[in-house]
Chain A
């Protein structure tokens, strides 16, 4: 029986990641696009203005990490949607629909369904237990030193891998869109992100993300509407014209696709669904709202915006087939494909439906998107260093607020500089696997610890620490010895670990490790941790005693 399994699951690799990867293809230097640069400068000016405003409101730790806890559900929903609607997913998914039609929809659905699960099982408990980072929630009843060490390792690994992938993708994309030198592009992204985060903290980061999300939703809506105008607002017309033009014909209307082994498919599916629930920069957003009510609302809005956005990208992809695939203006003479590759479909379409000005707008939004996403990542990495490692592990909680904030600002600058250097070092490397690895680590370290701490009374600190470390090591070594790195990058003949996606194995290893070690743990502290589950449970369900709650 044919397994089209992968089709459904594969999102990561094919979409997210490949936006970065496909831009990897020879980038021809473009002339400087004046309209795009002007619009981008407008965005930068506006967001620096916001940063200035936010900086004056960022005085305490709570302001810096959690925007004072004053973000509303709607605002946070937009910010979460913004974190999710990266340049890679916008360009990647519309490019995928352009290339293979219906399959693109399958991928976006895979991304979306993680959200209801996060809402039903994690969001409010997380909000009620935590303060600034997800490690706060886990160390409610567990020992802070081991828990925060492993949580910070998980966070930093995810953040660095994701940052490298974003920086390299950003450099290539900006080179293509703006005609700007790769190194300059990477340095500009790095410096702006350092400014936003260092001075404006979570408040500026959130508003940059909100503005970008609104611009992206407006731009994508306009594009989809213009496509439908050209199709007399008839989906019949859109689809039948696409079928006539596309080389695969009627096959673009049905599941097609990539056939690979079911193990890899399931493994990648797990990484996507549970990786999302373990991404530190997304989890951190639940602490920016005042209470569990607003936390729930933010997931509701986020799911709505993300779902709407995916529907738009579907129309955009089909519109691109109809309007671009036969249009020599957008085709590469050599290959016959789109100039710059399939992931440029949305960008070219913006020019086809809205001319130079709209092309400039969409290019500027794509640049803004990268900035907003890297800022969120850097802030979550910096808080893992200052709040989890420095304040709790090194100083054992005995630290002045001002000192902790100084450390987080220094960490932000350090991470920003590291991101610039890594972006430059990895310029010629294939970084597509890094997002996959980041999701696998989030699903194998952060998620199991967080989930079990909330749902399993018998979890102990030793279990979480050892099991989490096993998950981390398994994910990284399966990746290194797997086909992507061992064969494709290091040039060995055969892979020691045969599958591309480690999550099925590394997640199982983490869960088994955590459970076995916890059950064997008969120490006195383990006993106390198990007893404290009752307190944690009541707090997580009622919000009594939680950060910012009325009752103290």
Chain B
């Protein structure tokens, strides 16, 4: 069981971190990054869907004169692969850069608290 005192210490720590400008800078970077990736996914997906909804003939065209493969297939593959790659990009940056900075900030405040 967590004692009342521990809860209080934790709360002070949270508030101090929240007021740290470095934390805010990190959060801003993170927010821009994750929302832009989310927008890219939505943009790709909805363009795909809207083409299907309104201009299906674009996807019906074949990729070459002597081919039977229609544009819809490589584009569909692109949507799947790009979803995967975007999650990869996010995980790479979040696990390396963001986590390191955020751990640094947290450690600093924990140490400050002990002084």
Interfacial residues, chain A to chain B (CB-CB below 8 A): 1, 3-5, 7-9, 102, 105-106, 108-109, 112-113, 115-117, 119-121, 124, 235-236, 239-240, 243, 250, 253-256, 292-293, 296-297, 299-300, 303-304, 307, 310-311, 534-535, 537-539, 541-545, 551-552
- The residue that A538 contacts in the complex, of B14, B34, B37, B83, with Cβ under 8 A, is B14
Contacts of B45 in A (CB 8 A): 109, 113
A339 vs B51: C-alpha distance in the bound complex, in angstroms?
Answer: 35
Instruction: Pick the contact of B87: A115, A235, A293, A535 (CB < 8 A).
Output: A115
By Cβ-Cβ distance, the 5 closest A-B pairs, closest first, are: A254-B60, A255-B56, A253-B70, A535-B14, A538-B14
Query: Chain B contact residues (Cβ within 8 angstroms of A): what range?
Result: 35 or more
Q: Residue of A at shortest CB range from B57?
A: A254
Q: Cβ of A253: which chain B residues have Cβ within 8 Å of it?
A: 60, 62, 68-70, 72-73
Chain B residues near A243: list those with CB within 8 A.
Answer: 68
The reply to whether B53 and A8 form a contact with Cβ atoms under 8 Å apart is yes
B63-98 vs A, Cβ < 8 Å mask (1 yes, 0 no): 000011110110011011101101110110011000
Bound together, the chains give a CA A467 to CA B60 distance in angstroms of 44
Question: Per a CB cutoff under 8 Å, which of A5, A236, A296, A551 touches B53?
Answer: A5
B53 to chain A, nearest CB (A): 4
What are 19 A-B pairs at a CB distance below 8 A?
A8-B52, A102-B73, A106-B76, A117-B38, A119-B90, A120-B34, A120-B38, A236-B69, A255-B59, A296-B91, A297-B91, A300-B87, A303-B84, A304-B84, A307-B81, A535-B14, A538-B15, A538-B18, A544-B13
List the A residue with the shortest CB-CB distance to B95.
A293
Number of inter-chain CB pairs below 8 Å: 153
Q: Which of B76, B86, B87 contacts A109 (CB 8 A)?
A: B76
Contacts of B91 in A (CB 8 A): 119, 296-297, 299-300
Which residues of the other chain, A, contact B79 by a CB distance below 8 angstroms? 109, 112-113
Chain A facing B: main interface SS: helix
Which B residues touch A236, using CB under 8 A?
Answer: 67-69
Contact A303 to B87, CB < 8 A, known contacts A109-B79, A253-B69, A296-B95: yes
Task: Bits for B37-64, please: 1 = Cβ < 8 Å to A, else 0.
Answer: 1100110010011001110110110100
- Chain B positions within 8 Å of A112 at CB level: 79-80, 83
Q: Is the contact region of chain B dominated by helix, strand, or loop, or is it mixed?
A: helix
Q: Give the one of A3, A4, A115, A538 with max B CB within 10 A.
A: A538
Determine the chain A residues whose CB is within 8 A of the CB of B72 once the complex forms: 102, 105, 253-255
CB distance from A322 to the nearest CB of B (A): 13
Asked whether A113 and B95 contact (CB < 8 A) given A4-B52, A254-B56, A311-B77, the answer is no
Contact present for A255 and B60 (CB under 8 Å): yes
Known: A4-B56, A115-B83, A304-B84. A534 touches B15 (CB 8 A): yes
Residues B37 and A293 in contact, CB atoms below 8 Å apart: no
- Taking the nearest CB of chain A, how far is it from the CB of B70, in angstroms? 4
B6-40 interface with A by 8 A CB criterion: 6, 10-11, 13-15, 17-18, 23, 27, 30, 34-35, 37-38
A120 touches B35 (CB 8 A): yes
Query: Quick one: closest B residue to A124, CB to CB?
Result: B94
Q: Does B11 contact A535, Cβ atoms closer than 8 Å?
A: yes
Closest to B71 in A: A254
Contact B80 A311 (CB under 8 A): yes
